[in-house]
Amino acid sequence: MDAKQMNTVYQVYPKSFQDSDGDGVGDLQGVVSRLDYLSWLGVDMVWLNPVYVSPGYDNGYDVADYARIDPMFGSMEDMDELIRKAKDRGIGIMMDIVANHTSHQHDWFLQSERDPEGAYGDFYIWRDTPNEWSSFFGGGTWTYSPIRGQYYFHAFAPEQPDLNWGNEQVRTEMAGVLAFWAERGVTGFRFDVIDLIGKDVDRKRWLDFPLMRRYLKDLVAQVDTSSLLLVGEAGGLTPDEILALQRDGSLDVVFNFEVCALDEQAGQGKWKLAPFEPSRLKATLDTWQRAFAVEGRNSLFWNNHDQPRAISRWYDGDERAAKMLAVLLYGLKGIPFLYQGEEVGMTNGMIAPEDYQDIETVNYLRTGGTLDAVRMKGRDHARLPMEWGEGADTFSTGTPWLRSLHHDEGRDVSTMRLDETSLLHLYRELIALRRTNRVLRDGAYELVPTEDHLYVYRRFLAEETPLLVVVNLSPDTVPIPVECGDRLIATEQVESPMLRPYEAFICYNF
Ligand code: ISL
């Protein structure tokens, strides 16, 4: 398997995927027990959110030891078993590399705090006088350490001090982390907020691109990544900057969040909601598709552990819209990322106000935030336990660490597996189609002009028969605007001369 030619990546949020020991928290043996399911679904790589030792202020994105597994998730033996058993099924494992910051309990930080002149003294960003700058989780970016008598910088929580990427030793240590996991047999890395390594704290700039590019190049050059899929989470990069990193061989694809922000008021942060407009979805996707139409690749996703369910936020949980979004995304050029539960149409559910746990949401509510915004955008809504089914076949035999007060009837794996017309089967067919159809995987992209409530695009590749992806973004029945050949896949079972609400299909374009 060539990881760079990955077909579909499935994202597992380990805490919420499958609990194997009844403590209410998902774990690595739980993931192992679901490998047959993932293999049936047809995915070829699993991105695991962080499972390293962590005090858990940000659910594992505060790493205290990059080379050990948190006991909550199991042991290094469990991890090795997962890598091995996944490989047996042709599935690779992608590790989440949190390189911008560590936990305040990481040994590097403890030493940096105590001994400014020591080996780790310059590993973090220390200043005598802080400037005023807001962190992503609320509050300022600087916290005073009485031990060192200086302030340290943190883009996120005070428990997540930022590493000093200007220090070559930091880059070497992080390269050591990559080498450690590459040797254990993982097939990819997802770099958390990687654009932030190039920030300029004194000028209050989150991104100095030439700096970020240089640091990342330096990191990647120290490890053999030629057969690894490199994914960067970097919301601040432009398409041209991404292309530059792809040419460098530093990243294969990048997560950008413009689509996720379509229900936010521009520039007002994630909590200020705006009505979702399908025409803007089309325009945004089209812009990004054009940018990588010839060279490079996009990442394709609707949800992740930070982005609650798109079908809840945009389409009131409508299952027809879930099918439409599936066909729309799998028709595009790039690498699809499927977030656990999306394949059964999981929604945001309903969380009791006192049950919210995410640091970002808790801070927001504490400082006067509204539950309406949290129910749409709060990250706990993306982290509800996977809906496997009833009885013994559930997420946990114990009390889940996070609970939904509302469950959508029939939207679980065991129910949908029995129904060949279900969303789950549609995803399985789409994944299989991308595996065999070169046009879908590698073909160029071209928009077919139509009215705003429709999104029609063409995919073509050399002498292969071109494809058309026809999507009705609206809840209305409308005429089909193009001539279509045979259909390869569709949200509806029976063809109709009109496009039904949220209907979508892929057909040949003669
Ligand atoms: O979650 C967000 C908004 O609610 C994003 O702005 C998010 O903070 C950003 O995409 C960075 O996310 C990543 O790094 C964070 C961590 O909390 C996220 O879970 C992770 O995906 C800090 O490590």
Kindly report, residue by residue over 418-467, the tens digit of the pLDDT.
999 999 999 999 999 999 999 999 999 999 999 999 999 999 999 999 99
Compute the average pLDDT of residues 65-81: 98
Class of domain 107-153: alpha beta
Mutate to test the pocket of ligand 1, among 51, 192, 363 (most ligand atoms within 8 A of CB): 192
Compute the average pLDDT of residues 284-312: 96
pLDDT tens string 196-244: 999 999 999 999 999 999 999 999 999 999 999 999 999 999 999 999 9
Q: Using alpha carbons only, what angle is made at residue 298 by residues 340 and 137, rounded to the nearest 5 degrees? A: 60
Ligand 1 atom closest to the Cα of residue 306 is 1
Mutate to test the pocket of ligand 1, among 134, 306, 309, 359 (most ligand atoms within 8 A of CB): 306
Structural tokens at position 278: 């399908």
Ligand 1 atom closest to the Cα of residue 359 is 17
**C-beta of residue 346 within 8 angstroms of C-beta of residue 411:** yes
The domain locations on the chain are 8-99+168-431, 107-153, 442-508
Residue predicted with more confidence, 267 or 12: 12
Residue 510, pLDDT > 90, answer no
Mutate to test the pocket of ligand 1, among 193, 206, 272, 375 (most ligand atoms within 8 A of CB): 193
Instruction: Return the half-sphere exposure (C-beta side, CA atoms, 13 A cut-off) of residue 234.
Output: 32
For 123, the enclosing helix (H) or strand (E) is none
Percent of the chain with pLDDT over 70: 100
pLDDT tens string 309-340: 999 999 999 999 999 999 999 999 999 999 99
The answer to whether residue 233 is catalytic is yes
Residue 380 Cα to ligand 1 middle (Å)? 12
- The span from the first CA to the last CA of the chain, in angstroms, equals 33
What pLDDT sits at residue 216? 98
Residue 279, pLDDT > 80, answer yes
| Binding pocket residue ranges, ligand 1, CB within 6 Å | 58, 61, 98, 136, 156, 192-193, 233, 235, 270, 305-306, 360, 379
According to CATH, the topology of domain 8-99+168-431 is: TIM Barrel (3.20.20)
pLDDT tens string 131-146: 999 999 999 999 999 9
What pLDDT sits at residue 1? 66
Percent of the chain with pLDDT over 90: 97
In DSSP terms, 153 is beta-bridged to 142
What pLDDT sits at residue 390? 80
In DSSP terms, 448 is beta-bridged to 456
Residue 69, pLDDT > 80, answer yes
Distance between CA 335 and CA 356 in Å, rounded? 32
Cβ neighbours of 307 (radius 10 Å): 21
Distance between CA 390 and CA 313 in Å, rounded? 26
Residue 89 Cα to ligand 1 middle (Å)? 31
Average pLDDT score over the chain: 97
Distance between CA 232 and CA 242 in Å, rounded? 9
Distance between CA 314 and CA 312 in Å, rounded? 6
Task: Mark out the alpha helices in 353-457 (DSSP H runs).
Answer: 359-366, 371-377, 413-417, 423-436, 438-442
Residue 190 Cα to ligand 1 middle (Å)? 13
According to CATH, the topology of domain 442-508 is: Immunoglobulin-like (2.60.40)
Q: Give the active site residue among 44, 192, 319, 342.
A: 192
pLDDT tens string 96-105: 999 999 999 9
Residue 476 Cα to ligand 1 middle (Å)? 36
- What does pTM read for this prediction? 0.98
DSSP secondary-structure letter at 493?
A: S
Four-CA torsion 16, 18, 24, 28, nearest 10 degrees: -90
Four-CA torsion 175, 178, 182, 187, nearest 10 degrees: -130
Going by pLDDT thresholds of 50, 70 and 90, the confidence category of residue 3 is confident
